[in-house]
Structure 1
Amino acid sequence: MMNSLVCLVLVASVAIHAATDNTTLENPGYDITPLKERVISDQAKKMFKEKTLISANPICQSDAATLCPATSSDNLLLLPCMQIQAERVSPMCHQVLWKYKVYLTTVGGPLLTHCESPFRWIPGCKKANPYNGEMVACILDNKKNITDRDCQLTLFRMQKVIFSDHRLIYGFNKACGQDIVELKCGRVERNETLVFDTGTGQQGLVVSCLEDNIDHLSADCLKQIYKKEVVAAESIELDAALAQACQLEVSVMCKSIPPGKGNLYRCLFDHMNEPTMKSKCRRQLMRRGKEESQDYRMDYKFTTACSMAIKRYNCDKEAYTEGSFTKTVNILRCLNNLATQEGALTDDCKAEMATMVTLLMGNYQLDMTLAAACDVDVADHCTMEKNTRQGGGVIACLMTMEKKMRLSDPCSIHIQQLVAAALPTFTQAVDHITRQRCQTLYKETCGDLVSQHPTPRRFSCLMDHANDQGTDPICRNHLLTLQYFLARDYRMDQPLRDACQYEANEFCSLNYKQSSMEYPPARVLHCLYTSYLNPATKDEISLQCVHEVQRVMLIRSSSVDLNPYIEKSCMADLSFFCGVDTAIPGEEFKCLQENMENLSDECHDAIGSWTKMESQNIEMNQPLFRACRNMIKKYCEEFPRGSGEIIHCLASVKNVFDFSEQCRKEVTDYQTTILQKYEYDPAFIQACGHDAHTLCDIEKTKNELMECLKRNSVDLPTACRAIIREEQLEQEYAISMKF
């Protein structure tokens, strides 16, 4: 019961017309008493006083029996039913219905019967004026404190009546009257009576029209719209325009979904991209989705699940933006900072965060500020995705353009903010578009994981195979674009984050509780990997963390831009030395390594650090590993996978007659550009490092160290002598090949 009231705690003053409204209103086409005068007809007074049913009134008896026989025994149920079928209701009956609505929502008659007790203890309600809407407004303002089920049900039914006609919402026309006229959502007659153009029973469309023009509303009207929609978050029945537009979809697509608690909204959003959904329903859902992106309180399920965390950690204050709403993306970003704090977020809140992010990532137009910022960019780069209405396609396209640095500054900022809001559920949010673009990889390579494992594990499988020879280029480019954003914050990679949470905190000074970081998120992976390579800390890194770090490092070895600290340091060098096509995975690194002596100091240090890591796992050298995969299986299978010893094994057999020519070339290139520096040769360091420090000047070049060690070969261990002998044979062979 308390959960059903959480969203309503945020409602303020949603009730009936105040007597101070300056606009005189009438039911279009009918001669009724103006609301400004607050004159209640004797017939309406008698109707309520004697608890007469509308269906028993001779004027409405036939309409009620024909149109709404199932609800004819309860006025509060009959009114919404008749409203939905307003065009079939007789003009005379409309007059009766309208006068009863005015009496009902002004005096609040049923509240006196079903909500009598609250008047006794709710401050101000007992003294509220019962004839101008003040009393009803007071009860609705305090709805969060009402626990009586009978009173709750009565309030809900009254809200359905109120929200069916904007003229019955307290203060609405005073705030929005000018907007209605200026935006042509209605017109003003000579007697200054507001009338909606589409005729009887369509007053709910005034609000729908205003919501379609939400970017152009006055501040006062915008507040009224958001007040109304926050209340309507609990049930689709309180959103008259959407309920009417989506009647068929609710009955077909959501027939097994229980109403209330935001369930039907969620169901309709899940089916939003299905071709069978009518355009009028989709338009209303788009409108609702835009509003939810601007104020999280309009999503009942999200608000109910996360309200405690939002209040406890002041996310609503931190995320406050201009107007009367708190932008949902900002709320998500605040909550994401709490994701790794134990107990900060409930499982239900995390699940709702994932759902909200999936909704926002699935349709770029739902975030109105993003849509406005990226309008030109979409037209320039993503027209096809927009026209095909591909779920998440436009966002994926904009992310690709961001990776290529082709977006305008405003659009780039909003895309980055949206991705940041997706933490830590990024992989779930892009799962739909990833399935579309990687169908073959999903089915054939990662098929067993699709049904048996959660999305993050499936995503890891896809990433592991992104650079496989048979992977479709569209799929590969999509996956590498996603990895580009994952690289900006290691926490977006859920398996990595979960496996290495302790290590990131222990070795990389990542303090979750205070949300402060000595290492920026983009550098944490590098920190974790160097901690694993460091003999002093290697044993403290869990095997699970080691596995995840190695997995991600292999993925990121395909492109410089997947390693932010290298990209930032080497952008100028990359464009100067590697202007040729380096689209082949790993070629950018190889190019920079070949030009290492000429790189800027910052880039030299970054590539040097990368090369040291690469030497510990030869698979990170993608050109070499791609060319030598079969040779490794044939000649070097006894060595641990990825071990630095593999390169020495390959070098020792590269001149046999059946050795791959492409592999021979890659090994030779590696020897001449990488192994000439002893610090990049882990096998040399392991076999001869101690003796080099003891017997020689460690600052010498590798060739000078070799000569020094050969002079002291008697004192060297067998492994070091073998390395020296291998180097000597390689040099002799290279000399012989010249002649």
Structure 2
Amino acid sequence: MGQPTLSAHADVPLYSATISPKMAASGRVHLLLLLMSVPFCLCTVQGLKAPSGNGNGLGNPPANPPVPVNIIGAPGPVNNVPVAPAVAAMTQPRRATGWKLAEEQSCRDDLTRLCPKHTWSNNLAVLECLQDRKEDTEIAVDCNHLLWNYKLNLTMDPKFESVAMEICKSTITEDIHSQGEVIACLEKALVREAEQQDQAHPIREECKKSIMRVAELSSDDFHLDRFLYFSCREDRERFCENTQAGEGKVYKCLFSHKFEEAMSEKCREALTTRQKLITQDYKVSYSLTKACKADLRKHRCNLDTNMPRAREARLSYLLLCLESAVHRGRTVSEDCQGEMLEYRRMLIEDFSLSPEIVLHCRGEIETHCSGLHRKGRTLHCLMRVGRGDKGSTVDGLCQSALQTLIQSADPGSDYRIDRALNEACESVIQTACKHIRSGDPMILSCLMEHLYTEKMVEDCESRLLELQYFISRDWKLDPILYKKCQGDAARLCHTHGWNETSELMPPGAVFSCLYRHAYRTEEQGRRLSRDCKVEVQRILHQRALDVKLDPDLQKRCLTDLGKWCSDKTGTGQELECLQDHLEDLLSGCGEVVGNLTELQSEDIHIEALLIRACQPVIQSHCHDVSDNQVDTGDVMECLVQNKHQKEMNSKCTVGVTHFQLIQMKDFRFSYKFKMACKEDVLKLCPNIKKKVDVVICLSTTVRNDTLQDVKEQRVSLKCRKQLRVEELEMSEDIRLEPELYDVCKTDIGRLCSNVVFGNAQMMECLKERKKQLSQQCHQRVFKLQEGEMLDPELDYQLMRVCKQMIKRFCTDVDAKNMLQCLKQNKNSELMDPKCKQMITKRQITQNTDYRLNPILRKACKADIPKFCQPILNKASDDSELEGQVIGCLKLKYADQRLSPDCEDQIRDWILQSLLRSVNIDWTPPEVRSVNIDPQLQIHCAEEVRSVNIDWTPATDPLC
């Protein structure tokens, strides 16, 4: 029988007849070389046919041949080759069947010392035990020699042959002498079975264990995996020429070059099979097993006796268990973490190493991702499909498999694991995130902060969102969030350990729980720790950029997104669209959108895109409130107040106005208003939801209490203060008063189409064309003016145009008397012409109806019903009396029948009218009008047209 010779690489002796204790301690199982080249279909050692010459790539034969072994694995004479003295005593005929390693004298001491008694009856268990312990202790020379001989003939076991004949029939028929083909075939069958639901020839569990143990025994040296060795000889020379064999180093080197263009397809296939075996049993990786052995013991990662060994041995189980220890702040050795990093990267780079992905995502891969299998591109393609970016969704099992893989690989803790992301985002990291250490978990957070900015590139944006979609569905996959919040999550949300399954909790449930507690007040109790709240806010700010990063929102709003927002594909448009259609949404979706909007009102930084757009005005006018660690609606209030500053750009204006419009839908969406007035609303305005209705309800209550001079106002002081802020904000844009806007939409289109919204310009346009308005719009405008005259501070245009004059003349005047103060100073030389013009406009308005002149109304409270009741009887609540009541009072004034207060007001009114009529008032021509007196306009129209400074009364007695 031809004997194998030394390896072509002189550093790897295959075996020696005499094994030194040092070699025994090193534990390299080079002798499995022959085992891997024995065809399974042969039944006797005599039938072996060695390759001729040096065709196996090996060198000269060793000085001492190996000890032969008989058919059942026991040492004994074969072909008259003498047995080595050390094992001559072990070849008794009585052991022709049922021979046990444990019964041999040469291994008994080592076995008793190192291996549990229950393993002694199983030769493979004994071999595995001694293989595992060889790193920690020396094994006797004779025992080591005996073990080598046993491994040499291991695959002659009939159970391998029978399985091989059934599963690998074609391979055996084609080439019964090929190097390692049968073992390779069985290994491929083993991994293929994990990737298929229906197996034509299922492999028994015991047989699977045996195949896997053979793979474990070849983990030390790639020469021992004969199929891989012959498939990768040239690739080893090309990529790993200087890599010393042993301790799995050549495997690692070849793995790192697997996707190189120069790598042969045959070698790549053999390496993939080897990697797939590692994912099923981590012990098939020598370097990982050696580096993590102590850590696995320390963190009790293989002590669960209730768990099937097959699952316990899986690479994903090892990674999850050790990653859990790392995330909990426990110590895991640097060597072990380094090995884990390599295998996590391996899982991300090649989706085919995850049998669940191959099994459950086959359809998605074939339909959407064919031909993208290298460097993690297929996985990212599947992630993209999972996000719904390709217009379709993935099967639930495929989604679950992807989520499990992301958890095992844990790319959130080190972005470099994800090569596709790393390559796509390298330029962004170098510019936007260069201040962060390479590999730091904060790199991903930094990339998210620069999403949709000028520093972001398209490829990076896509890869980042694909990964974040899955990270957002399991709070544990953000390592910083987990580190800061694990205690809070256990206390408040009843979470389990990092690596424990969470099937009972839907995606995103833990994070939803955390953010509900993040914004609780002290009175509500059970709040988050400060560090955890900071991280929750960070995640909320990032997720606001894309609705798909909010699992709860996407799940509940899937139907509504399709129905209302299918064309809203721009950045941030989907959430805005859902908010715009809040009243139309299904209850589940409406609830989650409402909760998120309520949260935004408290912390507007969640609206990341709005904050970016408004940075100039924030820096100039709101920096004092934006720098606060806790935002309680102050930033948005400041932005509203500074909407018309020169630093304000169109994007910011549109964003702020949109948020104001959304706030109108529910008073809870205005945080400061909600906190100041919630008790008042419950008491005075129950069952009212819309903010505008709540404002009207509270304002009406305040007004009625004021008019009736009640001793104690029903609306609390803190609520009245915030109510005033809300009323002032609403007065700036007619759209913020939905009922008024809805009834005047047609009139706006007909009369004010060229006027822009904001700055109360649209409202002013309607006021100036009041006579041309439709009845409903006219009535609403009249009611609005009535409120403004009663409380001039709500007259946005008056307050804006006369802002400096108010500071000059009316600093100490009560807001309700502001117009009166301005009127009294109207003819001052220091009065600004624009303000003077605005005062005149308001006087003209007041003269159309006594109800629009609150001072006159109060002074003549008893006179009006006494002398002018017939006119009141014909009056409508919502339309002007065109000066009829004032005309009535003027006649009584001539008869000297008015009360003193009323008489003073009418005298003043007559004097002002007279001055305007004779042109003493230097009002601009467009404002100068007889409209100051409606009755004068009616009865003296012709005379006034020709009037000049030498005005003379006309013939009409009323004139």
TM-score scaled to structure 1, two decimals? 0.74
Give the deviation of 1:637 after TM superposition. Answer: 3.0
Aligned residue for 1:535? Answer: 521
Alignment partner of 1:234 out of 206, 220, 223: 220
Give the deviation of 1:394 after TM superposition. Answer: 0.7
> What root-mean-square deviation, in Å, do the aligned CA atoms of Structure 1 and Structure 2 show?
4.9
Question: 1 CA distance for matches of 2:453 and 2:497?
Answer: 36
Aligned residue for 1:318? Answer: 307
Give the deviation of 1:101 after TM superposition. Answer: 12
Question: 2 CA distance for matches of 1:691 and 1:371?
Answer: 58
Indicate if the aligned counterparts of 2:425 and 2:460 stay in contact, CA closer than 8 A.
yes
Indicate if the aligned counterparts of 2:507 and 2:551 stay in contact, CA closer than 8 A.
no
Indicate if the aligned counterparts of 2:545 and 2:571 stay in contact, CA closer than 8 A.
yes
Alignment partner of 1:726 out of 708, 725, 728: 728
Secondary structure of the corresponding residue to residue 566 of structure 1: helix
Aligned residue for 2:258? Answer: 272
Q: CA deviation digits over 1:360-417, x for unaligned, max 9?
A: 221012234532443332221112413xx2x111111111112215334553343233
Aligned residue for 2:694? Answer: 702
Give the deviation of 1:491 after TM superposition. Answer: 0.3
Question: 2 CA distance for matches of 1:331 and 1:138?
Answer: 21
Indicate if the aligned counterparts of 1:696 and 1:705 stay in contact, CA closer than 8 A.
yes
Alignment partner of 1:681 out of 670, 673, 682: 670
Aligned residue for 2:43? Answer: 23
Alignment partner of 2:441 out of 452, 456, 461: 456
Indicate if the aligned counterparts of 2:471 and 2:477 stay in contact, CA closer than 8 A.
yes
Q: CA deviation digits over 1:225-250, x for unaligned, max 9?
A: 22210222233343233334445555
Alignment partner of 2:184 out of 184, 208, 217: 208
Give the deviation of 1:645 after TM superposition. Answer: 2.0
Indicate if the aligned counterparts of 1:490 and 1:496 stay in contact, CA closer than 8 A.
yes
More moved, 636-645 vs 243-252: 243-252
Structure 1 pair 613/209, CA: closer, same or farther in 2 (3 Å)?
same
Structure 1 pair 109/643, CA: closer, same or farther in 2 (3 Å)?
farther
Give the deviation of 1:550 after TM superposition. Answer: 1.7
Question: 1 CA distance for matches of 2:649 and 2:80?
Answer: 87
Indicate if the aligned counterparts of 2:41 and 2:165 stay in contact, CA closer than 8 A.
no
Indicate if the aligned counterparts of 1:644 and 1:681 stay in contact, CA closer than 8 A.
yes
Secondary structure of the corresponding residue to residue 318 of structure 1: coil
Check if 1:605 corresponds to 2:633.
no
Higher RCO (Cα < 8 Å, 6 or more apart): 1
Give the deviation of 1:108 after TM superposition. Answer: 5.6
AA of the residue aligned to 1:418: L
Alignment partner of 2:280 out of 294, 300, 307: 294
Aligned residue for 1:614? Answer: 600
AA of the residue aligned to 1:702: V
Structure 1 pair 723/533, CA: closer, same or farther in 2 (3 Å)?
same
Question: 2 CA distance for matches of 1:714 and 1:207?
Answer: 85
Secondary structure of the corresponding residue to residue 636 of structure 1: helix
Q: CA deviation digits over 1:198-248, x for unaligned, max 9?
A: 5xxx3x343234434443674376444222102222333432333344455
AA of the residue aligned to 1:232: S
AA of the residue aligned to 2:447: L
Question: 1 CA distance for matches of 2:486 and 2:716?
Answer: 48
Aligned residue for 1:507? Answer: 492
Kindly report which structure 2 residues correspond to 1:491-502, keeping only aligned pairs within 5 A, or say none.
Answer: 491-502=476-487
Alignment partner of 2:571 out of 568, 585, 591: 585
Aligned residue for 1:632? Answer: 618
Aligned residue for 1:401? Answer: 385
Question: 2 CA distance for matches of 1:116 and 1:254?
Answer: 42
Check if 1:118 corresponds to 2:107.
yes
Kindly report which structure 2 residues correspond to 1:66-465, keeping only aligned pairs within 5 A, or say none.
Answer: 68=59, 72-73=62-63, 75=65, 117-119=106-108, 122=111, 140=127, 143=130, 151=139, 169-171=156-158, 174-179=161-166, 182-186=169-173, 196-198=176-178, 202=179, 204-214=180-190, 215=192, 218-219=203-204, 222-247=208-233, 250=236, 253-254=239-240, 259-304=245-290, 305=292, 307-308=296-297, 314=303, 317-318=306-307, 327-329=314-316, 332=319, 352-386=339-373, 389=374, 391-404=375-388, 405-423=392-410, 427-428=414-415, 430-449=417-436, 452-465=437-450
Q: How many residues align?
A: 652
* Structure with greater helix share of residues: 1
AA of the residue aligned to 1:397: C
TM-score scaled to structure 2, two decimals? 0.58
AA of the residue aligned to 1:498: K
Question: 2 CA distance for matches of 1:137 and 1:496?
Answer: 45
More moved, 494-503 vs 521-530: 521-530
Give the deviation of 1:695 after TM superposition. Answer: 7.6
Give the deviation of 1:466 after TM superposition. Answer: 2.2
Question: 2 CA distance for matches of 1:572 and 1:138?
Answer: 57
Secondary structure of the corresponding residue to residue 447 of structure 1: coil
Give the deviation of 1:291 after TM superposition. Answer: 1.4
Structure 1 pair 314/639, CA: closer, same or farther in 2 (3 Å)?
same
Q: CA deviation digits over 1:522-553, x for unaligned, max 9?
A: 12222222322112279964443233222211
Secondary structure of the corresponding residue to residue 590 of structure 2: helix
Percent of matched pairs sharing the same residue: 21
AA of the residue aligned to 1:735: M
Question: 2 CA distance for matches of 1:173 and 1:334?
Answer: 33
Indicate if the aligned counterparts of 2:228 and 2:270 stay in contact, CA closer than 8 A.
yes
Question: 1 CA distance for matches of 2:501 and 2:270?
Answer: 42
Alignment partner of 2:509 out of 509, 523, 538: 523
Question: 1 CA distance for matches of 2:330 and 2:619?
Answer: 48
